[in-house]
Chain A
């Protein structure tokens, strides 16, 4: 059971828009902890897609965007392309008495129909 909850799967047709949710709690996203998103293509290492809630690293297409509200975050992909088929993970920080720990969502597999 991941600290951050993501839907296991989402799908969309080429050209469509999909959204992947990431639900946290008052000890992580709700505490205004930064949220980052990673894309993991089949057989590859994860790659950062969005950092600091809604910022794209150089080279990431503007089809990818993200937002955060309350204890949840979401990743949106517009103009879906076949190459977007991958696993997507949200990541944040959980604040507890023992300190700040990194937490990941369980991941969402995106299928491009």
Chain B
């Protein structure tokens, strides 16, 4: 059974940094594309980054480009999001999700980890 568990969310000051983690189990992580998707309080879903199975193919949303870095460690079945220069508008619940491809969408989601940017 596919399981994704995010961690690392916290209250951080504007301009600060944070690293989110997502531990995967129940599937062959090294063969899966993965994404980070966030949801601001009371708002909709926003895709922010994709990473291919080997880690060499990466895409970012314009809203976070240059500030956030997605990475993965297939030996540890883990996905990461390094966040820097955080802003109030980055406050959101951050989900990791398994991207099953263009024709299948995001078939598995974690429960999310909360990031709050405030002074």
The CA of A104 and the CA of B47, in the complex, are separated in Å by 7
Q: Which of B46, B105, B111, B112 is A51 in contact with, Cβ under 8 Å?
A: B105
Known contacts A34-B103, A45-B95: does B59 contact A101 (CB below 8 Å)?
yes
Q: Which of A45, A47, A91, A102 is B112 in contact with, Cβ under 8 Å?
A: A45
The interface bits of chain A over 30-47 (1 if a CB of B lies within 8 angstroms of the residue's CB, else 0) are: 000110101010000111
| Residues of chain A having any CB pair with chain B under 8 Å | 2, 33-34, 36, 38, 40, 45-48, 51-52, 57, 87, 89, 91, 93, 99-107
Using Cβ atoms and an 8 Å threshold, which residues of chain A touch B105?
Answer: 34, 36, 38, 48, 51-52, 91
The CA of A100 and the CA of B45, in the complex, are separated in Å by 17
Using Cβ atoms and an 8 Å threshold, which residues of chain B touch A102?
Answer: 35, 47, 50
Interface size on B, residues (CB 8 A): 21
Query: Is the pair B45, A51 in contact by a Cβ cutoff of 8 Å?
Result: no
The CA of A40 and the CA of B45, in the complex, are separated in Å by 10
Query: Is the pair A46, B109 in contact by a Cβ cutoff of 8 Å?
Result: yes
17 contacts between A and B (CB under 8 A): A2-B44, A34-B105, A36-B106, A40-B45, A45-B110, A45-B111, A47-B109, A51-B104, A51-B107, A52-B103, A57-B107, A89-B44, A91-B105, A104-B37, A104-B44, A104-B45, A105-B44
Q: Which of A33, A45, A103, A105 is B109 in contact with, Cβ under 8 Å?
A: A45
Query: Is the pair B106, A46 in contact by a Cβ cutoff of 8 Å?
Result: yes
Known contacts A46-B45, A100-B59, A105-B44: does B109 contact A51 (CB below 8 Å)?
no
Kindly list the 9 A-B residue pairs having the minimum CB-CB distance in the complex, ordered from nearest: A36-B105, A102-B47, A107-B44, A45-B109, A52-B103, A104-B45, A51-B105, A106-B44, A51-B104
Using Cβ atoms and an 8 Å threshold, which residues of chain A touch B106?
Answer: 36, 38, 46, 48, 91
Expressed in whole angstroms, the minimum distance between the Cβ of A112 and any Cβ of chain B is: 20
Using Cβ atoms and an 8 Å threshold, which residues of chain B touch A101?
Answer: 47, 59, 61
